[in-house]
Amino acid sequence: MSPMLTKTVILAAGLAVSLGACAREQDPNNAGYFSGIGNVVDGTYDRRVAEREQDAQRAEQMAREMQARASAAQAEARATGASLTAAEARNRAQKAELARLDIALREASRNRNARAEDLAAARVRLDAAKRRQQQLEQHPPTSQSQRSAEQAAIDAEVKALDDMILHSTRAE
């Protein structure tokens, strides 16, 4: 090879390398020939592909996490709905029991052997229990434990009233 041809080849190679190393477009859609060669040689395209794959993996992981959160929220909503349904059923049962006690109290008042002062005290307690039950129904506590505690207190009062009415009508 002649020295002139060698110089030309070296100059062309140097020019290609220096053009490849110059500021170039990294987007393959906009990159020209030399930018494309430079991007392939120095791994720019491989890095871009790896970055896109990592972005896709992060997006998939985020989607899985969001799906898990949505499933948990749905399960919690179902549990809350079931809890609310149970509380409403318990409220209805308490109302029915209080109505039964009201009838029992009226019947006991007609009994000759009934102690009037016991029945008057039972009436006051029954009216208070009705108000508590109505308050619980209209303005339920926000926490399930508070609601359960209040319902348990009303249940205990209903039982005590039942016993009180029963004992006020017994002959001594």
Instruction: Identify the CA nearest to 165 among candidates 89, 109, 82.
Output: 109
- The Cα–Cα gap between 126 and 154 comes to 10
Return the pLDDT at 23: 59
Question: What tokens were used for 171?
Answer: 């002959």
- Position 76, amino acid: E
DSSP 127: H
Give me the residues of the chain with pLDDT under 70, please: 1, 14-24, 26, 29, 31, 34-36, 39-40, 113, 169-172
pLDDT of residue 34: 66
Specify whether the CB–CB gap between 134 and 88 falls below 8 A.
Answer: no
Q: What angle do CA 98, 99, 101 make, to 5 degrees?
A: 65
Q: How large is the greatest C-alpha to C-alpha distance in the chain, in angstroms?
A: 139
Is the sign of the CA dihedral 55, 61, 64, 65 positive or negative?
negative
Q: Which of 170, 164, 171 is nearest to 120 (CA)?
A: 164
Whole-number Å distance between alpha carbons of 118 and 124: 10
Please report the pLDDT score of residue 167 as a whole number. Answer: 78
pTM of the model: 0.51
- In tens, the pLDDT along 63-111 reads 999 999 999 999 888 888 888 888 888 888 888 988 988 888 888 878 7
Residue environment code for 27-58, b if the CB has 16+ CB neighbours within 10 A, otherwise e:
eeeebeebbbbbbeeeebeeeeeeeeeeeeee
